[in-house]
Amino acid sequence: MLAAVDAAQRGLYAQVAPAVVYIVTPNGLGSGMTVRSDGLVLTNAHVVAGVETVDVVTFAGARLTGKVVERARDVDVALVQVDATDLPTVTFARAADLAVGQWAAAVGHGEGGGWTFTTGMVSNVYTAQGGRAVFQTQIPVNPGNSGGPVFDGTGKVLGIVTAGIQGAQNLNFAIRIDVATQVPQGLEGLCDCLVVHAPAGVPVFVDGASIGLGPRVAVPATTGRHTVFALVGGRKVEQVVTWPETRTVTLGP
């Protein structure tokens, strides 16, 4: 039995670690994960704070220059682009796959150690830290793990390491991957979301429920028909779309 567990964990490391990168800036270091084979990397906004370019080292040892192409406003995520092709990529889990008590692991660069593999479980799932959807783990992570993946027993990414509480024993947090992929515009094709563009400040509704304000709102979507509308210039602008055939809707000018 122990041999089977050992083999399974080594297999998961071999599956996930090649898609994890080392990010170095003048202010410190962090982790990231390749989400597109053309070199698009997802990391924390705080990892790349105050810089426009970063040094990126891949699992295979390539040293690349990365350009920070997007920083989210309200969630601690950012996108970095490197000039590369055919990079290994991570696979995202579904929001419904995240549950308290499930086994979870992380690969990152805690305290500068390259591609360290630590395991634990999901301790809690809740909304905290200014309304951002996060979950708590007791996976041992340290500064340098920020921006790296937390993944499940199939190797699918549940979230992105965002913060730990200094002085606390294994009290660490990750942003749910469904939230992390909703926000950046550069991940629209990878998010299982319906993205709605509308004039800034205009309330947007999907199937009668308010989902936020323009200019851009992304909401997890289910397969089938959805009614999308907004009040633009005093009139109701409405479209009926079928997801996933239609993933982006524009309401108004």
Catalytic residues: 46, 76, 146
Return d(Cα 122, Cα 125) in angstroms, integer.
Answer: 8
187, 143 in Cβ contact below 8 A?
A: no
Residue 172: CB atoms within 10 Å: 24
Return d(Cα 204, Cα 214) in angstroms, integer.
Answer: 7
Instruction: Say which amino acid occupies 70.
Output: E
Rg of the chain over Cα atoms, rounded to whole angstroms, equals 19
32, 47 in Cβ contact below 8 A?
A: yes
C-beta pairs of 199-203 under 8 Å, 24+ apart in sequence: 199/230, 199/232, 199/252, 199/253, 202/230, 202/231, 202/232, 202/251, 202/252, 203/230, 203/231
Show the DSSP H helices in 18-138 as ranges. Answer: none
Return d(Cα 114, Cα 106) in angstroms, integer.
Answer: 12
